[in-house]
Structure formats: structure tokens, C-alpha cells
Structure 1
Amino acid sequence: MATPLSGTQIRQTFLNFFADRNHRVLPSASLVPEDPTVLLTIAGMLPFKPIFLGQQAAEFPRATTSQKCIRTNDIENVGRTARHHTFFEMLGNFSFGDYFKSQAIAWAWELSTQVFELPPERVVVSVFEEDDEAFAIWRDEIGIPAHRIQRMGADDNFWVSGPTGPCGPCSELYYDFKPELGDDAIDLEDDSRFIEFYNLVFMQYNRDVEGKLTPLKSKNIDTGLGLERMAQILQKVPNNYETDLIFPIVKTAAEIAGIDYYTADDATQVALKVIGDHIRAVVHMLADGITVSNEGRGYVLRRLIRRVIRYGRLIGIDREFTPLVAETAIALAEDAYSIVRDLDRTIKLALQREEIQFLKTLELGEKELATVMAQVGTGGQIPGVNAFTLYDTYGFPLELTEEIAAEKGLTVDTDGFTVEMEKQRSRSRNAVETIDLTAQGALNQLVGHIRETEFLGYKVPAVEAEVEALLVAGRVVSVAEAGAEVQVILNQTPFYAESGGQLGDRGYLTSETALVRIMDVKKDAGFSVHYGRVERGALHIADQVTAQIDLACRRRVQAHHTATHLLQSALKKLVDESISQAGSLVGFDSLRFDFRSPRALTAEDVQQVEEQVNIWIAEAHVAHTEVLPISEAKARGAIAMFGEKYGNEVRVLDVHGVSMELCGGTHVSNTAEIGLFKITSESGTSAGIRRIEAVAGSAVLEYLNLRDEIVKDLSDRFKVKPEDIRDRITALQAELKTTQKQLEAAKSQVALAKADSLLAKAESVGKFKILVAELPGVDPESLKTAAEQLQQKLQEGAVFLGSAPEPGKVSLVAAFSPGVVKTGLQAGKFVGAIAKICGGGGGGRPNLAQAGGRDNGKLAEALEAARNQLKSSLSQD
């Protein structure tokens, strides 16, 4: 191939190849999957999951796609390896009970070697170690030498959807970058030589709960070819980031920073690659309607944007830049995904808002770090969990936290930081990376075999019902014994299943032989699934039970749910008519209401909204529900609930004269039943989104009782009346601040007095004087002051002081004169290296720097090492 194919050409060539072979070309699905068990679209097969599960009939036997994907499970490797990404495109061809192994393998080989013109001798394939059929096809039909077909174990070459369900062996194609090493050195784990670019999954078995494999009647093909990987191969560049899919973004960021990518050091190149990768992800996520937030996929989006900004700052970009690099990403993507250009203004504005907000967050992070350091105390160590919070929430790189801490004579628990980082990686893997075709698998197996649950809870609090199904540990069982955590499906139920932000009901199931306490109810596969525990006896399939909700809990949640409707009306009336709901959580103890608002609320706004809701409660407005055609409901002015999907008929809650909304939740029949309403907090959660938390009904009394208890306790402790507590605390704070200043001054004076007595111990080394000594029990700040004063008195020379103010804490400080610095010695690097002897680290300016450590027993050794190094370095001048 004379001219390497562009990324766009590779994508279109793949789709055309399979279109010519009767595959339906489908557009990429959204990054927001329809599957509720997966946070983001992470693989090309995900949109076809219902077909692979047998839940949905395929409209066509063959399909091909270029699917946008997001994965963040290995986010720390992005930019550091040649091929890790958060955003990538997976080219795929799929067969739904049509062709199988022989055809899939033949087409993969034809596409790779004839269309993309990869030299056949540079392609190595792997097969599952027990898949003799695939091995024979590659060897006998395709003609690959047997020694270039690698048999691999189940971990590498057997695809499973989960503990049970569809599964099968797979075969992978690898490209060899170093064929000169010969066939004797084939090691597919060597990713510097081999890159896997095409994976063929042969979905031919069903695995049951005992692990037994049974051939599927309808065998499927699921393949994936990495667009970025094929671009790296065909464009002959050393990594995916230098392909035309990503490098223009990298180049834009480099130009903004005034950097030449090719001559930059490794750390700078990593930063530029991270920016290039993450901006692609961010642009497509925003285009697919994901908004920045602190939860779920919105949190993933926020984290990626903040990493872009943080890495930009690390390479010297000190101005707004994310919309500029986003424009390059949009230009690269618009031919294949026109929506990014259609929404370019929305994307850039979102990035601009988040960049401005994040800079404010960085300032808050500095304050948070100052608070943590004050809590740790002199010579102490910042816990790993705090360092990680600074990194994850405020965007502080670990190195920055270490540097600031060292200036105060503190160290950072880097091991603890690593532990917290791994926890987050684990959460990311669980939340983003897992595709489990058998999640809800046991429930899906019941579809069509038992009736969907009939909900009667709007009218009655208890019903007689029959047990249709039981699940324990995700498996369908016939009986659940006492002590078992169980999921129960009934033919009918009074229990409200979690929906529309309202939590599921609590209560009990009772039969002649069992008592089951129900703690939650969720909708799943058309059923109301009752989550509970068998308290006594045994519950069986077909048992007749009395299903009784906890009326007290129902009343509490009703009060909170109706209160959210009043709250939205009050916000629209008093703050801005354009306010709309962005989410809610209605619980037994409180409510949370998220809303889109053009401005932040003032304290006066919050007070007025609370008063208005309580006025409506006191006015005893009737709350009436009815089922209407959706067109009629909207014509009457009913407001739709955020995130809900509606059918042709809808349930409408009309609080007469106050509110009318579409809502399937449970509510009071009169606002007077709510009793009281109290806002407990109001805050911003993301750009343009505000959150109010509140309590209603009996929860208000609990809230007030708790605060009354706190006030009484403080009143007793301070020996003042409740109304005087605030003044007493203010006076104590002022008194404490004065005392702390006096104590620091006294410590400093003591340290200086001790330091002056050390001058006689100064040693002459060439034209310099050096003083290395311990000042027992002196805190880091006082040690720093003493070192500065001693260095000034020595004039041209070096001072190195150490102290162990308390067990497990070592403080070190180095003060160098200008002449010493000119010799090449720098206090920051010097003290940081010595601190490692005591199990710590640190740094600072060339003339003055501090460090800390944890091993008091190594202080003498550290001081001796400092003395020897100073003598050795300065004796040459």
C-alpha cells in the first residue's frame, strides 16, 4: 500500500468490506447504554446484548458497526503505554445464528492480509487450547503454519458472560513488529513486539449453574477490531497517540504550551498524550448528552475533564485551553459523527464552565491541604486517604502534595495513597468495565414462564399473594430457609418498587410456615422483586402469603414525595420559572431534589421557598391522582418527571392550586398530612445544577430533636445559655489563636537560643563553614528559623539541622549561602535525598528547604551522611 490509510479510511474500509458481504451497517450506539447494568458503552457487542441473551429477535442475521467506547478501568496507564485509551472505536462484525467459525476466520484473514495488506508472515493467531476446530481452520483452510498458531488458556481465549449464560472460545490476531526475532521467540505477552488487533468470539455454548457447557442452538459471532491499533500498524508509528486519529489534538495542546512534542521529555509527552486521549472521550460524552456531576457517568466525565486541565497546568498552560483542543477533536470526528459539530458550542461552553470551576476547586484544595497539615501537626505525615482526596477531588498530583508538605516539614503516606488509588481502580473496573450478560440472568430466565407482578399498592396496604419465584444468591430455588437473604416474586403486591426517585416499600411477608422481612423492592424484567431475609421458618414456591407494607414507612415516604412537588412549584414561583427537575431521591428519612437553575440561590431564597412550602401545607390543599392519556395530561399543563419514560396513559398528581405533575409514586391525599417541611441544605452539584436536601413530616421532629440535643450539650459544656453559644465559640477561637501565636513565638525563641550555642561547632571546609547538628524536640517551623539565622551568622556556608520532635516524626532543614549554591549544591535536592534515610522525603528552594521522615532511630545516620556529603562537595571549591 503506497500511501498509509487514514483512520477515517480504515473505518470506512472495514464497514464497506462487511456491507459487501450482506451485513447491515448500523450507526454507533450512544455512549449512554440502554442496559442499566453498565455505566457506559464499553464494547461493540453491548448494543446487541439482548439478542445474544435470546431476549430479543434479531431484525437481520448480520451486522457491522464502528462503535464508540469508553473505558476508565486502566486510566492511570493512559499516555504511559502505547495502546491504553479511555475513548476508542471498536470495529465489529456480528452474526446472529448465521455464519460461524469458518466464515468469520476466513473474512478476518481476507480483510487483514488482502484489504489492509498486512504481510501474512507478520500475523500470528491464538486459539483456545481446547478449540481443535479453530486450530484446524487456521492451519488447513487458511494455511498458517502450526507453529504460528498459539494455543492459550481460558483466561486469554475463552469468553464468558458471567458465571452462567452464553460463552465460547475466541481467536485473536496479532501483528508482529519484530519478525526479525524469529518464530522461536514468539511470546504474545510481549506487547513491545506483538499487538492484538482483531478478536473473534465464537459464542457456541451455554454455561449452567453447575458449570456444565451445552451447545447453543443458535450460535453467534462477536468480533472486535481496534481502529486505533490498526491505524498504528498501517501508519507505521510507534504508538496509537501518533496516529492521525489523535496526534492533531496532541499537537494542538503542544502548540498552546509552546512545546515541541518530539523533543519533549517523557513526562511532558505523557501529559500531552493524556490530553489528546481524554479530550476525545470528553467531546463524545458531552455530545451524547452526558453532563458533569459528582455521580455515575457524570463523575467519569468530570474526572476526565479535570485530568485534562491538571495535565495542561503541569506542562505550563496557564490560560483557558480546553475549548481549543476540543475544536481539533471535533474537527477530527465530525465526518463520522456529525453530532459533535452540531453541538460544538454546547461542548465548548461545558468545558469552559468546568475549567473555570476547577480552577476555583484547586484553590479550595490548597485550603483543604492547609487544614490537613494543621491537623497532622509538626513533623507529621499526611495520611494516604487525605492525599488521595486531594488528588481525586481537588486535582492535586501526589507530587504537588509532597512538595507543599515538605516545605512544612511533613511527609506523605504514599503507600496509603497507592492503596486508595487501587480501590478507585477497582471501583472503576466494577462500574465501567464489566459486561455481565448474566446480570439479572436468573430473572431473565423467568420471563415468559411466570406472570408479571400486578401492583395494588395505590389502593390497599396488604394483599394475599402467591410466591411465583424465589432467588437466593442469584439462583432460582424452590425453598428459602431461615437466615437466607432472598429475592421473592409474587403474582401481586402492595409494595411500591423503587422508581421515579422513590425508594421501595418495606414490610413483611407471612405464610403458615415463614416470616420474611422485606427491606427493599425493585423493578426488574417486568417483576417487582422483593429483597428480604427469612426471619423464621421456610418459604416455598407457590406458598400463599400475606404481603403487608410498613404503613409508617409508607407515610414517611409519601410526605417526602409530595413535598418534592411542592418544592419544585415554590422554586418556580419564587426563584425562576425556568427551573426544572434534574433528579430526586425520596426516602423515609429525607428527600433530595436536584434542579437546573440559571443562578445560585441566596439564603433569603432558601428561607422564602421553605416558608412557601409550609404555607401550602398549612392551607390543606387536596392532592388528587388520576390516569389520563398523555396528550390530555400535557394539555392540562402537567409537568413530566426527570428521566422517566411514559406510555400512552400516565398517572397525574394534581395538588389543587399548587402543582400538577406526571408521577407514578405514592402521595398524601391532602398537604396537611405532611405536617412540616424543613430545608437542611442547599448547594451546587455541577454547572447549572443545584441541590436541596430537606425533611418533612415526622422526620422534621427527629431532625430538630437531634439539633436540640447538640445545642443542650454545647450549652452545658460552655456553661452559657443557648443563645450565647455563638459568641462563646467566637471568643474561644480568638483566645486559641492568640495562645498559638504566643506558643510559636516561645518555641522559636527557645530554638534560637539552642542554635546560638551551636555556632562554636561549625567546621571549616575550604572557603566555607558547615554546621550539622541536632536540635532535640524542636518543631519544623522553629528548626527552619534557627537554620536561617545560623546560616546568616556563618555567612558563606551550609547549615543542616535535624530534630525528632516526637516518636515517628523526623524534621530536617538545609540552609545554603549563595556561594554554596553556586558550587552546584541545592538545598531542596540535598535535604530530599538525606530524608530518604529516615524513611521520608521533601524539597524546596536551592537556598532553603525542609524535609521529614518517620524513623527517629535513623536521625544520627542522616546527620552524619549530610556532614560527609557537604565536606566532600565543598572541599573541592
Structure 2
Amino acid sequence: NYTELANKNIDTGMGLERLAVVVQDVDSVFDIDTMKAIRDRICELAGVTYQTDEAKDVSIRLITDHIRSSTFLISDGVMPSNEGRGYVLRRLIRRAARHGRLLGIKDLFLANLSQTVIAESKDGYPELEEKKAFILNVLSQEEAKFDKTIDQGLSILNDMKADMQKAGTKVLSGSDVFKLYDTYGFPLDLTEEILAESGMTLDEVGFMEAMQEQKDKARKARKVTNYMGADVTVYESIDPSVTSTFVGYDRLSHTSKITVLTTEDEIVEALSDGQVGTIFVEETPFYATMGGQAADTGMITTAEGTFEVKDTVKLLGGKIGHIGVVTSGMIKSSDMATLTVDEIRRSSTCKNHSATHLLQKALRTVLGTHVEQAGSYVDGERLRFDFSHFSAMTAEELKKVEGIVNEQIARSIPVVTDVMTIEEAKKSGAMALFGEKYAQKVRVVKMGDFSMELCGGTHVANTGTITAFKILSESGVAAGVRRIEALTGNAVFTYYAQMEEKVTEAAKLLKTTPANLLEKVEHLMAEVKALQSENESLKSKLAKDALGDVMDRVVEVKGVKLLAAKVSGVDMNGLRELGDQLKEKLGEGVVVLASDCDGKVNLIAMATDAAMADGAHAGNLIKGIASLVGGGGGGRPNMAQAGGKNPAGIDAAIREAAVVLESQIK
């Protein structure tokens, strides 16, 4: 028996991309603006043209879809692996890489292509731009890793196919499929796809059995069981007693003992040259991504090897992982290591972080105490600060805020950090982030009598170190939430230098000096406006002249005069001006004009007061004829307009105007 739903509805499947297909009037999701940009970039890299070869089109569409999905997955924190969602990501990346080869792309290209994905979607998903370096790094490493084995793997697979043909079978054994997966990194569906191209298939059941057998062996070797049916990740496999202490508030280099080494799949005793992994130590000066502050990067060195730290993560249980790659030699567990933070990146990040504290107080000073932090992100390049406010800031407000921040920087205020209980911090008046959960002991960052906030991040010792502050943009990100993006330090001077270069170049193009540029532009704009007005008048005059004695074309429809005519090359503005002239000449009645301009149709209808009194309605008249030119539109009873994309239907529309008007007249 079926239960009748209280609320009946239909799931149309109209997701964002499918809606865009309709709105943008294209044939498929691969033709909408964001996807087409990726598709075109693939064609450019491969030197091919879309829709000239069906096999190549399949590869182009597949790569378009997979690189977009991969980029978003990585930005959401998914890493390529052999388990769960990480394996889905790995399959997407490797399948895209293989189809790139089928298109003739010889070099690594996925990171390059991902930049197009980010550029197309960063406005709606700002985290893509924030994590850009990390996303590109993950894609580069994964593609490079697959690139090292794919040729050898393809050779082995070709040998297997030859053996199958000799044996008269079309099914590749599960053990062979697993060998390709385990040794050469071939995902199951990739092997299946390659076999299908030769009319062959594989033993998926046998593959799954071989996979499970290896999992069981690995689990026993690690002496780790799974929890509630879910496989334990490599980080969760680490002994709970292993912890890390952050010591980087007052130092950028520190020597400590390596406690654990992992690859993406397992705990290991050593990492060799070129191998990607994670290092855990007892004490570290590396700050992990937390509280909107980007992670430190740098180097870890031991007596036998060097390791480049590309990201630092805070894990459950007080563990801090240093993710990166061995750049030389070998890194061994239990070795003593020297951890050195990238000083330039940390310094720039500190400047940006301290500037957000000054910015928040400046915003509260200018806009009011309703301003609360709604999110932030700081790294070595710029800062982003989200805050509660009900409207866009004016240019004057932005100028005041920027001035206040730079004033506090110029004061060279000492930045003091105290550790106290959360109750003491609140009593002292320190600002806290709404909704944030704090430990019993907290750090309070104080900048003279200007700013005092709870914060666990790293900061400059003196506001003067920030040097300069420049707001780049202010925008809305949600209802009641605004966002400011800004620069500090040397980045400000670089920005000014770039702006100066652009101003100088613009002045050069306009044959003037930077000092006189504004006056020159204003003069040119006035000149352009006058020329545009003159051009419209000339177009209208030409159109009128082309019509000749239009009064010969006037007909009467139930006693109402109708002038319906076709003109060429007149845009909508010109058509309106011409319509006004003809309506005045007509005296009383209805004017309908149609123009073919740049392959598109412009329609306009005008009705005088007397004609409207008899029942004429310009808006309904336009609705009645617009479909004949492949368009739509409407308007008021006295004036209406429409656009279309079928110039061939203009004559029919002009004829139909009389029919529609006749139906309106009382």
C-alpha cells in the first residue's frame, strides 16, 4: 500500500548546471559559461577542436567534468588515497590524466587546467582561491605519481591482453587487475575502460577478493581493527599517546624528535627521496591551519635527509602533522630533526593577522559596535575579514577605516600577549568570536589601548612592523555580512607600483601625463557622448529617409490608423526615436516598427491616447507578434518593445500587427 504524500511535488532534477543550460540557451552542461571555459582550455592544451571527432569529444567532456570535481573535492579537504572518498578522487584524477594522453597532451596538465576551474568559480566559492596553492600542489603530485607508472602499467596491460588473446579469453583475472591497481596505480574503472576499447572485460569479484585479502593482511600487520565497520585512516592508526606541542610563538626553528612517519596509506619507519608523507614530532614551531590563519611551510632536516613542509595540520588528540615531500636522502622515525619555518611567509602572515585585529576595531569605531567578526582568512599574501553590517560601506567610510588602521600602524604600538582564564579575559573586556568554544586558558592579544582580542594565532611584536595597510575591496557575501580584502607590508608597495605603472601606461595611450589623466578622460567621455548622440540622430535620419514617404503605408484598422514598417540596421534607441517622430507625424493611431540589427530583431509599438481609447494596447500587440521573430517582450499600453533572434520573421510580424490590432479595437 502507498501512503499519499501531504505535500505533492515533482523532483525535476533542475540543478544549477541544468538551470544554466536553460538560462544561457545552450545545448548541454558542457556549453554553459563555466564549463565551456574549461572545455576550451583543454582543446587549447591538446591542440584539438571540439565537435570534430566523437572519440576526442568524449575525452574532452570527461576531463572537463573530472578536473572540476577534483578541484572542489580537494578544496573540501579530500586527499587522493586508496580508501573511501579519497579513492574516488584518485580515480577521477588518473582517469582525466589518461584521457589527456589520449588527446595528445604529453606534459602534466591537470594543475594548469585547475587554474581555469578556480578562476571560473572563485567568486561563488572563495575557498578555491584561498586554497589554490594547495589544490594545485595535490593535483601536480598525484598526476606526477601516476605519470611515473602509467607507461609501464600500459605495457604490462598490453602483455596481459596478448596473453588473453592467446588463451582465447576475454576476461582479465581479478589477480591481474589487482596487480595493475596495487603496483601501477590503475583504478579498477580505468583498467575496465581500456579493456572495453578492445572488446574485453575483467573479473571484478576476483579483484575485490584480492583487495580484501590485502586489507586483512595490512590490518593484522598494523594490529589495528576497524571501528563500527569503517576502515581506520592512517592518522587514526597512530598511538593515542603520541602528541605534539606547538612552540612557535617565540621561535621559527626548533630541534625535536620524530615520533611518527606516515605515507597516505600507512605508518612507516622511513620516507625516501621523492616520497610524499607526514612527519610528527614532539615539539614544533610550525603553526597548523587554525582560526582562519594559514599553515606555516618550511623545511625539516635530519642527519640523513631533508623534507619540504607544504602544509601543517592540526589533528585530534593534540597531534600536529607536517605534510610534504622528501627532497633529498631519507627521513627516519626516531631521528632528531631541525624544523625551520619559512620566515618570510610567517612574517607576512603575522602582519596580515595583526592587521585584522586593527581592522575590526576600526570598523567598530566607524560603523558602530554592532560590527562582529563573521569569519576571516590570513596567509602570506593578503587578508580577508568578514563582518556583520547591514549595508555596503561608502567610499568615505572605507577611507576612514583605512586611515585609522594606518594611524595605529604608524604609532608602533607594542603587541602584548597574555595567557589567562576565559573568565579573566571576558572581565578584561577582550573581544571574543561569537559562537566560538574556548579552552579554560586562553591567549589575549593586546595592542595598546586600541585593541584587545582572544586569539591563538601568531602576531607581530609591534604594529609598526605591519608598515602599511591597503583595502582592495568591500563586498557582500551573505545577508547582513560584508567582506573586506586587504594587503599589508611590502604587498601594499607592490600594489601601488603596479597601479602607478597602469596609470602611466594609460596616460601614454591617451597622449597626456599621469597628472592630467583624469581631465583627459573626462574630456574624451564628453566627446564620446556627443558623438554617440550624433550617431543615433544620423541613424534615425537614415532610417526615416529609407522609409521614404511613410504616410503612403498607413492603413486603417476599424477606423484606427496603423503604420507598420520595417527598417534596417537601427538599434532599439534609434527605433524609439524614429517611432516618436512617426507617431507625431501620424497624429493619432498606432506605430509598429521592426529592425534587423546585427543579426537580431528589435520591435517597438506605440499607441496614441485616442487609439488606446478605442482599445489599442501596445504591450499586448508586441506580445502577439514577437514570437514570429523568435522573441518575446511587452510593455505599457502606450509603448512596448521586444527583441528576437529570427530576422526572417520580420515581414510576417509586420503583417500580423494589423490582425492583432483588429482584435483589440472595440
The 1:814–1:443 alpha-carbon spacing in structure 2 relative to 1, beyond 3 Å, is farther
Q: TM-score, normalised by structure 1?
A: 0.43
Contact 2:388 2:482 in 1 (8 A): yes
Task: Report the counterpart of residue 232 of structure 1 in structure 2.
Answer: none
The 1:487–1:772 alpha-carbon spacing in structure 2 relative to 1, beyond 3 Å, is farther
Q: Distance in 1 between matches of 2:539 and 2:327?
A: 67
Contact 1:521 1:528 in 2 (8 A): no
Q: Distance in 2 between matches of 1:792 and 1:628?
A: 82
Task: Report the counterpart of residue 576 of structure 2 in structure 1.
Answer: 784
Contact 2:244 2:281 in 1 (8 A): yes
Task: Report the counterpart of residue 717 of structure 1 in structure 2.
Answer: 509
Q: CA shift at 1:453, angstroms?
A: 3.6
Does 2:490 match 1:698? yes
Does 2:393 match 1:588? no
Q: CA shift at 1:572, angstroms?
A: 5.9
1:32-431 correspondence runs (5 A): 209=84
Contact 1:761 1:771 in 2 (8 A): yes
Does 2:586 match 1:806? no
Task: Report the counterpart of residue 667 of structure 1 in structure 2.
Answer: 459
The 1:505–1:794 alpha-carbon spacing in structure 2 relative to 1, beyond 3 Å, is same
- CA displacement, residues 468-519 of structure 1 (integer Å, 9 cap, x when unaligned): 46465xx668699999987766665432122222222233456789876544
- SS of the equivalent of 2:292 reads coil
Task: Report the counterpart of residue 864 of structure 1 in structure 2.
Answer: 652
Contact 1:560 1:586 in 2 (8 A): yes
1:407-806 correspondence runs (5 A): 442=233, 445-446=236-237, 449=240, 451-463=242-254, 464=256, 466=258, 468=260, 470=262, 472=264, 492-508=283-299, 517-526=308-317, 534=325, 542=333, 547-570=339-362, 580-595=372-387, 607=399, 610-681=402-473, 692-763=484-555, 767=559, 770-790=562-582, 793=585, 798-806=590-598
- CA displacement, residues 426-457 of structure 1 (integer Å, 9 cap, x when unaligned): xxxxxxxxxxx999984784476573443232
Q: Distance in 2 between matches of 1:682 and 1:209?
A: 40
The 1:498–1:814 alpha-carbon spacing in structure 2 relative to 1, beyond 3 Å, is same
The 1:764–1:680 alpha-carbon spacing in structure 2 relative to 1, beyond 3 Å, is closer
Q: Could you say what the CA RMSD is over the residues aligned between the two structures, in angstroms?
A: 4.9
Q: CA shift at 1:851, angstroms?
A: 1.4
Contact 1:756 1:790 in 2 (8 A): no
Report how many residues are paired.
Answer: 452
Q: CA shift at 1:667, angstroms?
A: 1.2
Contact 1:816 1:847 in 2 (8 A): yes
Q: Distance in 2 between matches of 1:876 and 1:622?
A: 80
Q: TM-score, normalised by structure 2?
A: 0.55
Q: Distance in 1 between matches of 2:512 and 2:422?
A: 60
Task: Report the counterpart of residue 52 of structure 2 in structure 1.
Answer: none
- CA displacement, residues 266-285 of structure 1 (integer Å, 9 cap, x when unaligned): xxxxxxxxxxxxxxxxxxxx
Task: Report the counterpart of residue 827 of structure 1 in structure 2.
Answer: 618
- CA displacement, residues 749-783 of structure 1 (integer Å, 9 cap, x when unaligned): 22223334343244566645555432111222222
- SS of the equivalent of 1:740 reads helix
- SS of the equivalent of 2:436 reads coil
Question: Partner letter of residue 851 of structure 1?
Answer: A
Q: CA shift at 1:663, angstroms?
A: 1.5
Contact 1:443 1:524 in 2 (8 A): no
The 1:554–1:770 alpha-carbon spacing in structure 2 relative to 1, beyond 3 Å, is same
- SS of the equivalent of 1:505 reads coil
The 1:543–1:846 alpha-carbon spacing in structure 2 relative to 1, beyond 3 Å, is farther
Contact 1:585 1:592 in 2 (8 A): yes
Q: CA shift at 1:664, angstroms?
A: 0.8
- SS of the equivalent of 1:742 reads helix
- SS of the equivalent of 2:568 reads coil
Contact 1:558 1:666 in 2 (8 A): yes
Question: Partner letter of residue 759 of structure 1?
Answer: M
Contact 2:565 2:654 in 1 (8 A): no
Contact 1:633 1:652 in 2 (8 A): yes
Task: Report the counterpart of residue 850 of structure 1 in structure 2.
Answer: 641
Question: Partner letter of residue 700 of structure 1?
Answer: V
Q: CA shift at 1:609, angstroms?
A: 5.1
Q: CA shift at 1:844, angstroms?
A: 1.8
- SS of the equivalent of 2:623 reads helix
- SS of the equivalent of 1:775 reads strand
Q: CA shift at 1:539, angstroms?
A: 8.5
Question: Partner letter of residue 850 of structure 1?
Answer: Q
Q: CA shift at 1:548, angstroms?
A: 3.4
The 1:806–1:483 alpha-carbon spacing in structure 2 relative to 1, beyond 3 Å, is farther
- SS of the equivalent of 1:495 reads coil
- SS of the equivalent of 1:725 reads helix
Contact 2:234 2:267 in 1 (8 A): no
Task: Report the counterpart of residue 64 of structure 2 in structure 1.
Answer: none
Contact 2:258 2:279 in 1 (8 A): no
Question: Partner letter of residue 839 of structure 1?
Answer: G
Question: Partner letter of residue 694 of structure 1?
Answer: A
Question: Partner letter of residue 292 of structure 2?
Answer: G
Which stretch of structure 1 is more off in the superposition, 541-550 or 658-667? 541-550
Q: CA shift at 1:702, angstroms?
A: 1.7
Task: Report the counterpart of residue 343 of structure 1 in structure 2.
Answer: none
Q: Distance in 1 between matches of 2:654 and 2:273?
A: 69
Task: Report the counterpart of residue 874 of structure 1 in structure 2.
Answer: 662
- SS of the equivalent of 1:804 reads strand
Where structure 1 has 5 or more consecutive residues not aligned to the other structure, the ranges are 1-6, 8-72, 77-161, 163-206, 213-293, 297-436
Q: Distance in 2 between matches of 1:875 and 1:583?
A: 61
- CA displacement, residues 693-747 of structure 1 (integer Å, 9 cap, x when unaligned): 4322222212221222222222222333323222222222222222222222222
Contact 2:354 2:460 in 1 (8 A): yes
Q: Distance in 2 between matches of 1:747 and 1:851?
A: 19
The 1:784–1:570 alpha-carbon spacing in structure 2 relative to 1, beyond 3 Å, is closer
Where structure 2 has 5 or more consecutive residues not aligned to the other structure, the ranges are 1-5, 7-12, 17-72, 74-81, 88-122, 126-227
Contact 1:627 1:651 in 2 (8 A): yes
Question: Partner letter of residue 541 of structure 2?
Answer: Q
- CA displacement, residues 553-583 of structure 1 (integer Å, 9 cap, x when unaligned): 1000111222233344555667767765444
Question: Partner letter of residue 345 of structure 2?
Answer: C
- SS of the equivalent of 2:633 reads strand
Task: Report the counterpart of residue 62 of structure 2 in structure 1.
Answer: none
Q: Distance in 1 between matches of 2:272 and 2:632?
A: 57
Task: Report the counterpart of residue 216 of structure 2 in structure 1.
Answer: none
Contact 2:475 2:484 in 1 (8 A): yes
Q: Distance in 2 between matches of 1:555 and 1:770?
A: 76
Contact 2:234 2:262 in 1 (8 A): no
- SS of the equivalent of 1:457 reads coil
Question: Highest relative contact order (Cα 8 Å, sep 6+), 1 or 2?
Answer: 1
Contact 1:461 1:551 in 2 (8 A): yes
The 1:759–1:619 alpha-carbon spacing in structure 2 relative to 1, beyond 3 Å, is closer
Question: Partner letter of residue 626 of structure 2?
Answer: A
